[in-house]
Amino acid sequence: DMGGHDTYMHKEIHEQADAVDRALRGRIDDRFSTVHLGGLNLDARDARAVRRVKILGCGTSYHAGQIGAQMIEELARIPSDAEPASEFRYRNPVVDPDTLYIAVSQSGETYDVLAAVQELKRKGARVLGLVNVVGSAIARETDGGIYVHAGPEVCVVSTKCFTNMVVSFALLALHLGRIRDLSVADGKRIIEGLRKLPAQISEILANEEQIEKLAEEYADAKSMMFIGRVRGYPVAREASLKLKEVSYIHAEAYPASELKHGPLALIEPAMPTVAIVPDDDLLEKNRAALEEIKARSGRILAVAHQEQEKADHTIVVPKNEDELDPILMGIPLQLLAYYTAKAMGRDIDKPRNLAKSVTVE
């Protein structure tokens, strides 16, 4: 039942305020400015002994993992990174007993992720799952984990699960941070930010009409560039994947800082750029990138916390805490992908060549 929406993708995008609310419910502990994650199976002593975090996933879940790694590194100060599960399992990785491995998957059935988990377990590693589907293979094979509670996602293209995965990583980062060196004040600040998310998501979705018009404006592009820096970079990657999957428009994502090392050669009016421009300590750096693109007569659509002078269009999103901004900045770009695909008459819920869960190698 699509409840009045024309596609599951549209319905699921609009379910995100409720989905995030569900991910937070019952988990916040104001007394100790932290969160409780019931199924984690990692006591404080274990959490303090973790020296590295390695996150494994595929596609959109890998992108959620990239944001998660940054959050864990920032809030818990544990060196962290994400890697596609399929790459990891084929390169005979060094499995280190002081590393906490986290497998992230909506379906919990993706074969490459499951195989990576099994290989890790065989080598004696501690593996947690960050999964949506309760009781799925990855949830069963891991030592513990977090259910992201996004509810069923039908559209092949993931939207609300991505958002809930990133929120779940924020919870984990806060939890690990508060066991280690994150201050009470910072814990409170993050909790306040988390509590603001559902209303801010509703605010973004209320701006749908502007995004629909922008999609029509950019639907003629043969190719699109997505750029962001540090926190904005995985957001750019995920937005680029979303556009490719549903509209079949070619898109690439680059760190804004890498433009001048090559891809700037592609910039011309027929190659628009979508730029993630959060109001954080990299704002001026990001503005400089917009200037470089403008100087090559590139069209720019910015997603930012305030109107960007160098951009042709800006989608203004509400500001949260710097660390949590990536949760919100991709949401208007889910709508951009949706409306672009719609303007092009694509089969939005079932893009060609793709399946909801990839249970083959």
Choose which of 7, 105, 142, 320 interacts with ligand M6R (CB under 6 A). 105
Q: Considering the complex, what minimum distance in angstroms separates the CB of residue 77 from ligand M6R?
A: 28
List C-alpha distances in Å: 299 to 112, 132, 217, 263, 292.
38, 38, 11, 15, 11
Q: Give the span between the Cα atoms of 95 and 330, in whole angstroms.
A: 33
| Binding segment (CB under 6 A) for ligand M6R, from list 31-39, 72-80, 224-232, 353-361 | 353-361
Strands 52-57 and 99-105: parallel
| Binding segment (CB under 6 A) for ligand M6R, from list 38-46, 53-61, 259-267, 285-293 | 53-61
- 80-84, strands of its sheet edge to edge: 80-84, 52-57, 99-105, 126-131, 144-147
For residue 45, the SS3 value is helix
Q: Considering the complex, what minimum distance in angstroms separates the CB of residue 153 from ligand M6R?
A: 9
Contact call for residue 113 and ligand M6R (CB under 6 A): yes
Write each residue from 128 to 167 as x if it is in contact with ligand M6R (CB under 6 A), else as -, in one continuous string. ----------------------------xxx---------
Contact call for residue 60 and ligand M6R (CB under 6 A): yes
Contact call for residue 107 and ligand M6R (CB under 6 A): yes
Q: Count CB neighbours of 29 within 10 A.
A: 15
For residue 295, the SS3 value is helix
Amino acid at 248: Y
Write each residue from 242 to 281 as x if it is in contact with ligand M6R (CB under 6 A), else as -, in one continuous string. ---x------------------------------------
For residue 143, the SS3 value is coil
Query: Which residue's CB atom is positioned nearest to ligand M6R?
Result: 59
Choose which of 13, 47, 58, 251 interacts with ligand M6R (CB under 6 A). 58
Count of residues in contact with ligand M6R, rule CB under 6 A: 16
For residue 142, the SS3 value is coil
Q: Count CB neighbours of 47 within 10 A.
A: 19
Contact call for residue 314 and ligand M6R (CB under 6 A): no
Which residue lies nearer to ligand M6R by CB, 165 or 277? Answer: 165
- Cβ–Cβ < 8 Å for 308, 291: no
| Binding segment (CB under 6 A) for ligand M6R, from list 9-17, 118-126, 259-267, 350-358 | 350-358
Contact call for residue 7 and ligand M6R (CB under 6 A): no
List C-alpha distances in Å: 279 to 206, 311, 321, 358.
21, 15, 10, 37
Is 339 exposed, middle or buried, given 0-12, 13-18 or 19+ CB atoms closer than 10 A?
A: buried
Contact call for residue 110 and ligand M6R (CB under 6 A): yes
Choose which of 115, 266, 344, 358 interacts with ligand M6R (CB under 6 A). 358
**Which amino acids are annotated catalytic?**
356
* Residues at the site binding ligand M6R, with contacts judged by CB under 6 A: 58-61, 105-107, 110, 113, 156-158, 245, 354, 357-358
